A and B are shown apart, each in its own frame.
Chain A
Amino acid sequence: MMNCIEAHGLTKQFAGRLALNNVDLTVGSGRIVGIMGPNGAGKTTLLKAILGLTPFGGELKVLGRDPWVSRDALMNDVSFVADVAVLPRWMRVSQAIDYMNGVHPKFERAMAEGFLSKTTIGREQKVSQLSKGMVAQLHLALAMAIDAKLLVLDEPTLGLDIAYRTQFFESLLHDYYDKARTVIVSTHDIDELQHVLTDAVFMDGGRVVFSCDMTDFDAHFHEVAVKPSDHELARTLNPLHERHSFDRSVFLYRNADVEKLATLGEIRTPRLSEVYLATISNQTLAQKGSPK
């Protein structure tokens, strides 16, 4: 089966800074990929390259097409939800549906209306009259009504409260996702998405610094709370990171010997955000530590 996204040596320069620095990324069909990273890590630039919104260096194929060359054709099979600010504020809900129905061959009007009927959004309301959460619901309803092969979400729940965030991803999973579709989402809500994602990708400084398959996350990542007397022993097992709390330290491991870890204390599966913080802070340390 053709990969949904294939990027090799993807590079993008902005004002002398590398927003994307030699990114390699392969996303198979049916995956739900979370892209995480600090602000300015290159997440949005990567998504923009995938959507054909920006030219790039290197090689990138999305659904077999070069997005920069054939954005409009690609968009027959891709739908996109950005943070809540991109829907036109003057537009009525009915106009949005009419317009999408008029220009998009894979838009199902009945589906969009079905999704909206589950919300309190009125058909004659303007986007400017909706709350932030409702705009996100509307945009998701429009995007989900497209029978797309790839759904791209760029921080779709930014600035929403937890109820809307949860609902957003729940309806995405229950009403939309099936094994034929691929979802790629950039987000800061790392832990909320831990059990939604099939893959996690961390970016920093324009590079992919970490990626893992979430389906066997708990087989690879472990954390152990270690008594001070065992710290030296814990450090010999190559922890990714150690985090100090008041009476013991929590050591984070990737692919460590589970039997040896068991001697140090109780083994738990870490939250994805722990792995994220460990990766990003190690990254920062490595950059500061290396000369130039």
Chain B
Amino acid sequence: MSSLNLPAQVSETSRSIPKVQQFYWSVRRELWEHRSIYLAPLAVAAITLIGIFIHVFSLPALLAKAKPQLLFASYSAVAVVLMLTSVIVGSFYCLDALYGERRDRTILFWKSLPVSDTITVLAKASIPFVVLPIFTFALIAVVQLVTLALSTIIIAASGMSVANYWSQLPFVQMPKGVIYFLFAIAVWYAPMYGWFLLVSAWAQRAVFVCAVAPALALLAIEQTVLGSTLFTDVMKERFAGVFSSAFSRSKESVVPDPTKFFANHQLWIGLAIAIVLIYIVIKLRRRRDPL
């Protein structure tokens, strides 16, 4: 008999585990499994930094011409590239999130633990809605700070005024704008993430095709048979319209316009659709088997 054979009264002392803790560990296991969530943005950030490193040597020349927009163009470029990366990473993550666990049969293991389908699905949904935006913000901040450090060194070395350079940089507007834009992207693309999660939970094979084909088919049918542009316009607005919905032009720059953004009924319709889709995903996962 093993010394590890604990007496039966151990059951009396069992802990109780808050749902928040189960959610936390569910998110952690997503990060263990899908390492591309942080590796892909890190790789893109590294490549961006190489670009910055080359670009930074032309700074003194730019500064001499005194074109402020160009001075912080590299900071904006960093932010846009990493935000775009987070949307792509989030999309591919969503497509695999509920398909992968069925494909490799691990759903049987996950479901053998006292974690509800609701917690599991919400933890998965939190990746594109919460984890990726926060991580992307941190990454953008780091890359921008490295850019700032490099620029400062180059400018100082070329004997120009560091104070002059710093005075032209949007130290407050930039991080505020990045946070706002990341938030806007998350809520604007919510129905897309919801749809990808749904397909991931539902499809028996070829998840990517299942996710994209219906939309392409609808577009084709609308344009060839129906001759209308309703669906086409909705899709165009959804995929290309996040920037124009969330920002407004003022003088020579663009500024965040939350008032316009929150007044846009399209935003709320999209969010409502996303909530319905995620609710369906929770119900679907309950019935899902390994493939």
Contacts and interface: CB of A to CB of B under 8 A. Distances in A.
Interface of A: 51-55, 71-76, 78-80, 82, 85-92, 95, 98-100, 102-106, 108, 111, 114-115, 147, 149, 171, 174-176, 178, 180
Contact of A103 (B26, B33, B111): B26
A108 B10 contact: yes
Q: Determine the interface band of chain B, counting residues with CB < 8 A from chain A.
A: 35 or more
Nearest to A115: B4
Contacts, number: 102
A178 B111 contact: no
A105 B14 contact: yes
Nearest to B23: A103
B113 A111 contact: no
Contacts of B11: 106, 147, 149
Contact of B32 (A51, A75, A90): A90
B206 interface: no
A75 B17 contact: no
Interface in B1-28: 1-2, 4-6, 8, 10-11, 14-17, 21-22, 24-26, 28
A101 B33 CA distance: 18
Interface string B82-111: 000000000000000000000011101101
Interface in B212-255: none
A71 B17 contact: no
Chain B CB count within 10 A is highest, among A72, A90, A106, for A72
B39 interface: no
B10 A103 contact: no
B116 interface: yes
B112 interface: yes
8 A-B pairs with the lowest CB-CB distances in the bound complex, closest first = A102-B25, A80-B112, A75-B114, A72-B116, A86-B108, A114-B4, A86-B109, A88-B106
Interface string B155-183: 00000000000000000000000000000
A95 B33 CA distance: 11
A225 B131 CA distance: 71
Contacts of B16: 105
A171 B4 CA distance: 11
Given A103-B22, A175-B4, A180-B8, A88 B109 contact: yes
B32 A91 contact: yes
